[in-house]
Amino acid sequence: MMMMMLRKKGRENRIGRRLIVLIVAFSSFLALLATGYQLFHEYRQQRADMDDQLENVGIFLPPIVGSVWTFDERQITLALDALTRLAHVEYAEITTSDGRNVWKSGAVRSKRQITRQYALSREIRGEIRQIATLNVSASLDGIYDRLTSQAIAILVSNAVKTFLVAAFMYVIFSRLVTRRVEELARNVGSLVPESLMSQASLFDERLGFPEHGDEIDRLRWAYDNIARQLNLAVQDLHDRNDELRHEIHERTRAESDLQQVIAELSRTNAELERFAYVAAHDLQEPVRGLVSFSQLLERKCAEALDGEAKDYLRFIINEALRMSNLVRDLLEYSKAGGAGLTLGEVDCAELMNTVLESLRPAIEQRHAQLHIGPLPKLRADQGQLHQVFHNLLGNALKYSGGETVPAVRVTAERDGEDGWRFAVTDNGIGIDPQYHDYVFEVFRRLHTGSAYPGTGIGLAICKRIVESHDGRMWLASTPGQGTTVFFTLPDRVDAEAATTS
C-alpha cells in the first residue's frame, strides 16, 4: 500500500511536461520580441541608409543645374542615368520651371515608393531663381523583401532551436529529476516497517512525506550544486585577485615608465625647438653680412666686372636673400606656438582691418575684391592670429593666377557651442586634392620661386599657430576653381597650455 501511494504521488508530481510547455512558450515569446526588435532595428537602419543616400543626391545638383541651364541633353541624361543606377533608385525626372521640358530616366516598377524633390536654382542677375525641379523615386520593395526573408529565417531557426532545446531539456529533466524522485520515494518507502504500512496517518506523520517530492529533490540538488559552484567561484576569485594585483603592479610600473618617456620626449622636444630657434637666430648675422657685402661689392665694383661676373654676383645676392628669407621664416616657425601664448580678448574685425592695411599695396596693385563677413571676438594671441590672417590673405592674393582679378572672402561661423570656424576663400589657381596635406608641411612648394615667390613655410606657420590654440586647419580646393582654407578656434584655450596675459 505504501509503495502504491508513493508511485501515485510520483506520477502526480511529474511537472516536466508543464515546465517544458512554459519554457517553450516563454522562449517563443522572447524569440518573437527579439525578432520584432531586430527587424524593426534593421528596417530603421536600412531606411536611414536610404535617406542618407537620397540626401547625398545633393552632390549631383551643381553639375545638373549647369547642364539644365545650358540645355545640355547629353549631360542631363548622363546625370539622370547615374542617379537611377544608385541603389533603390528607380526613377529620376527633371522638369523645367515652365513645364516645357522634361527629362526622365528609369521607370517606376514598385508600389511602395519614396519620392524626394530637389529644387534646381541658379543665380540670375544677382537673384537666386529656381530653373527646374528634380524628382527622385526610390523603391522600398528591396527593404521589405529582405526583411521578410530575414523574418522567415529567424523564425524558422528560432523554432528549430526552441524545439531542440525543449526536447533536450525534457530528456534531461526526466533523467535528473523524475527518475530520482521515484528512486528516492522507493528508498524512503523501503525504510518504513511493514507493521506501519496499514496506518496511513502514522505513516504520513512519521515520514513527513512532502507534497512535491520533486521540488525538494531539485532544491537539494540546487543547494549542492550552488555549494560546489560557490567553492569554485571563491577559489577562482582568489586566483583572479592575484592576477589582478599582478596586472596592477605591471600597469603601474608601465605607467611610470611611460611618464618618464613622456618627460624625456618633452625635454628633447623643448631642446630641439630651442636649438632650431637659436640656430635660426644665429644664422641671421652671417647671412645678413653675406647679403650686405655682396650688395656692397655690386655697387663698388660693378664697373670693373664683366657681364658674366655680374651675373654670378647677382646669383650670389639672390641666393643670399633667399637664404635670409628661409632663416627668417624658420625663426618665425620655431616661435609660432612654441613659447606659450599671450592670451587676451581679440576683436577679429579690428584685427582684420590692421591686416588689410598692411596688405594695401598688394590689394591696390591687383585691384582685389574683398568681402569680409562679420567676425567674432574671442580669446587668442593677437600677434599670432594677425600672422595667420596675414599669411592666408597674402596667399589668396599671390595665387590668384594670371590676369584674374583676385576675389577673396573671409567668413566666420559657430563651430559647436564653444568655438568658431573661419574660412578664407579665393578664386585662385587652386590645389590638386592629392596635395591638400602636403602644402601644410614645412618648405613644401608646388610651384617654382620664379612663378610664385616665397619659402613654402607660411601655411605651416599658420597651422602650427592654430593648433597651439587647440584648433585645427584644413583646406578644400579644386585646380582652377579657387581654394578655401578653414581653421577653427575655441572661445577659450586650456589655461595649462598657455600663459594668459
Interhelix angle 179-191/2-12, rounded to 10 degrees, is 160
User: pLDDT-based confidence at 201, cuts 50/70/90?
Assistant: very low
Boundaries of every domain in the chain: 1-210, 212-335, 340-500
| 340-500 CATH | 3.30.565.10
CA distances to 57, 448, 480 from 456, in Å? 38, 10, 20
Share of the chain above pLDDT 90, in %: 12
Mention the CATH class of domain 212-335.
mainly alpha
Rounded CA separation 31/33 (Å): 5
Give me 35's grid cell: 525578432
- What digits encode the pLDDT tens for the residues 99-143? 887 888 888 787 788 888 888 888 888 888 888 888 888 888 778
Rounded CA separation 413/375 (Å): 8
- What digits encode the pLDDT tens for the residues 423-432? 999 988 888 8
| Average pLDDT value for residue range 61-76 | 83
Could you please report the per-residue DSSP string of 371-399?
A: EE----EEEEEHHHHHHHHHHHHHHHHHT
Q: Compare 465 and 185 and report the one with higher pLDDT.
A: 465
- Looking at residue 501, its pLDDT comes to 36
- What digits encode the pLDDT tens for the residues 393-408? 988 888 776 677 889 9
What pTM does this model have? 0.42
- What digits encode the pLDDT tens for the residues 337-378? 555 667 889 999 999 999 999 889 888 888 889 999 999 999
